[in-house]
Amino acid sequence: MTERVPIVENILSANDRLAQENRACIDEAGVFSINLMASPGAGKTSLIEQTLSRLKDKLRIAVVDGDIATSIDADRASAAGARASNQVNTGGECHLDAVMLHGALAQLNLRQFDLLIVENVGNLICPAEFRLGTHTSILIASVPEGDDKPYPGMYRGVGALVINKIDLLPYVPFKMDYFQRGVEALNPGVLTFPLSCRTGEGLEAWIHWLLGNVKRAACLF
Amino acid sequence: MTERVPIVENILSANDRLAQENRACIDEAGVFSINLMASPGAGKTSLIEQTLSRLKDKLRIAVVDGDIATSIDADRASAAGARASNQVNTGGECHLDAVMLHGALAQLNLRQFDLLIVENVGNLICPAEFRLGTHTSILIASVPEGDDKPYPGMYRGVGALVINKIDLLPYVPFKMDYFQRGVEALNPGVLTFPLSCRTGEGLEAWIHWLLGNVKRAACLF
């Protein structure tokens, strides 16, 4: 479908300009921001819940949830202690884009927050093409998805990789070494956080990393 | 991004016309054809391997694999006994469309086959929008993805639902009744095949259903 390319390129370029505006707003407010991406069911909402339960008394956290139709995830984030939980209904679109995040940010007073978590639509392909303006993108892979799925476009662009559901390692044919070597080839030096949102194992390292980044973002302005 | 809608509608309408052409070719050849869709890691390639190992001596099977970059899946289908295994590299596109399938069919002599399996790109959102011209679409859900993920657009359009990885039911919080009630609400009466590609449990019903449809397709012409 090569005839689509020029149209898509124009959309992406407009998107990138707005992503820069989003970043400027976020930086001025001294907020650290992440864009969480994953397949459906890999554990985006669970990771947000576990993060909130550990940090809600230390940090003021806002969550922006992208979903094609429902508000189930935003409701879960509110219940878990997010100070603000904003639902972006993408109207069927398979990803968030900078326009949608811009609209969501306009409804938040960013200066009242320390950490902004954007939960992208459950999709391991399309969200990689649309920058939002967050400081970094986090990909959540999950052990039962298998160890042979490093989709290059998605893995290359992320700042850190969460490997969720390590409690299932005894029950599925997932070789952690093999998976991590594949990831390293695509994104050399990328941080990885093997953990289980279900048992809590491995979450300390993730929380420690988040806290460090939140402190740095607050110091910059 | 409402400005994209008219363009997308034109593309979809052109796609549907070509899907009808694909269907006519498939029907004339007396082949039964399915479009397999799922998240990455849910088990599309594993289901194809298990299906081939049970049917390769009874049926002549062609596999068309859509992938954004690699040929790993097509190679696995060949190794498992597909008489033809065609790789469609989507060049980064997040779904197969009727144009891509049309190109793949042009390289096959369909009359030499009984069953055509199209493996779509691993994505639970976008492939639902693009008809290919196959007789039916099969969605593979997988137990560790959780029981709260019936994405409406995808679940409404499929002819059957495979629920893979039931061997993991003891280890994850997945309520089969709850999940199936959600599916039934979105797609009343849809066939479901709970199974495990790893242990082989439940595969007989899937194979039986496929065989029945292959016989019917062959009788029609």
Q: List strand residue ranges (DSSP E) for chain A, in order.
A: 32-38, 61-67, 84-89, 115-119, 136-142, 160-164, 191-194
Where residue B136 falls among pLDDT bands split at 50, 70, 90? very high
Asked whether the beta carbons of A15 and A130 are under 8 A apart, the reply is: yes
Percent of chain B residues topping a pLDDT of 90: 67
Average pLDDT, integer, range B166-180: 95
Q: Is B14 on the interface with A (CB under 8 A)?
A: no
- Residues from chain B that touch A7, judged by Cβ atoms under 8 A, are 4, 7
Backbone phi, psi, residue B205, to 5°: -60, -40
Average pLDDT, integer, range B24-45: 94
- C-alpha distances in angstroms, A110 versus A102, A113, B89? 12, 6, 42
The answer to whether residue B2 sits within a structural domain is no
The Cβ of residue A108 has, within 10 Å, a number of other Cβ atoms equal to: 18
**Of the ranges A30-44, A100-114, B3-17, which one carries the lowest mean pLDDT score?**
B3-17
Task: Write the DSSP assignment of A70-83 as a string of letters.
Answer: --HHHHHHHHHT-S
What residues of chain B, 171 to 200, have a C-beta less than 8 Å from chain A? 171-173, 198
CATH of the domain at B117: 3.40.50.300
Residues whose CB is less than 8 angstroms from the CB of residue A74 and which lie 6 or more positions away in sequence, other chains included: A63, A65, A67, A85, A86, A87
- Contact call for B144 and A144, based on CB within 8 A: yes
Asked whether the beta carbons of A38 and A122 are under 8 A apart, the reply is: yes
Question: Would you say residue B4 has pLDDT above 70?
Answer: no
Between A107 and A13, name the one with better pLDDT. Answer: A107
- Considering only CA atoms, give the Rg of chain B: 17
Q: Write down the pLDDT at residue A190.
A: 93
Q: Which domain holds residue A29?
A: 2-220
Where residue A10 falls among pLDDT bands split at 50, 70, 90? low
Q: Write down the pLDDT at residue B115.
A: 97
Q: Write down the pLDDT at residue B2.
A: 33
Contacts 24+ apart (CB under 8 A), B10-13: B11/A1, B11/A4, B12/B129, B12/B130
What residues of chain B, 26 to 55, have a C-beta less than 8 Å from chain A? 39-42
Name the residue among A75, A108, A113, A69 with its Cα closest to residue A88.
A69
Q: Is B164 on the interface with A (CB under 8 A)?
A: no
The answer to whether residue B4 sits within a structural domain is no
- Considering only CA atoms, give the Rg of chain A: 17
The answer to whether residue B10 sits within a structural domain is no
The answer to whether residue B123 sits within a structural domain is yes
A187 burial class (0-12, 13-18, 19+ CB within 10 angstroms)? buried
Question: Would you say residue A88 has pLDDT above 90?
Answer: no
Q: How far is the alpha carbon of B143 from chain A, nearest alpha carbon, in Å?
A: 9
Q: Write down the pLDDT at residue B7.
A: 57
Q: Write down the pLDDT at residue B87.
A: 83
- Rounded to whole angstroms, the Cα distance separating A39 from B163 reads 17
The answer to whether residue B11 sits within a structural domain is no
Substitution target from B9, B67, B139, B151 for chain A, most A beta carbons within 10 A = B151
Q: Which two tokens mark B192? A: 């479901």
Q: Is B205 on the interface with A (CB under 8 A)?
A: no
Question: Would you say residue B5 has pLDDT above 60?
Answer: no
- Residues from chain A that touch B149, judged by Cβ atoms under 8 A, are 40-41, 122
Name the residue among A197, A175, A168 with its Cα closest to residue B165.
A168
What residues of chain A, 79 to 138, have a C-beta less than 8 Å from chain B? 92-94, 97, 99, 121-126
The answer to whether residue B173 sits within a structural domain is yes
Sign of CA dihedral B182, B187, B191, B193: negative
Which chain B residue is nearest to residue A2, measuring alpha carbons? B91
- Residues from chain B that touch A40, judged by Cβ atoms under 8 A, are 39, 124, 145, 149, 151
What are the pLDDT digits (tens) for B83-133? 888 888 887 788 899 999 999 999 999 999 999 999 999 888 888 888 999
When divided into structural domains, chain A yields a total of 1
